[in-house]
A and B are shown apart, each in its own frame.
Chain A
Amino acid sequence: DAGVTQSPTHLIKTRGQHVTLRCSPISGHKSVSWYQQVLGQGPQFIFQYYEKEERGRGNFPDRFSARQFPNYSSELNVNALLLGDSALYLCASSLWESYSNQPQHFGDGTRLSIL
Chain B
Amino acid sequence: AQKITQTQPGMFVQEKEAVTLDCTYDTSDQSYGLFWYKQPSSGEMIFLIYQGSYDEQNATEGRYSLNFQKARKSANLVISASQLGDSAMYFCAMRGSTDSWGKLQFGAGTQVVVTP
Instruction: List the interface of chain A (C-beta within 8 A of B).
Output: 31-33, 35, 41-45, 48-50, 55-58, 88, 90, 92, 94, 96-99, 101, 103-109, 111
Contacts and interface: CB of A to CB of B under 8 A. Distances in A.
Interface in B23-67: 31, 33, 35, 37, 42-47, 50, 52
Main secondary structure of the interface of A (DSSP, over half): strand
Interface string B74-116: 0000000000000000010101010111111111110000000
10 contacts: A33-B103, A33-B104, A48-B101, A55-B102, A90-B45, A92-B104, A99-B31, A104-B104, A106-B47, A108-B42
Interface residues of B, number: 28
A92 B39 CA distance: 14
Given A42-B91, A99-B97, A101-B50, A88 B43 contact: yes
A88 B41 CA distance: 12
Interface of B: 4, 31, 33, 35, 37, 42-47, 50, 52, 91, 93, 95, 97, 99-109
Contacts of B35: 103-104
A105 B42 CA distance: 16
Contacts of A106: 37, 44-47
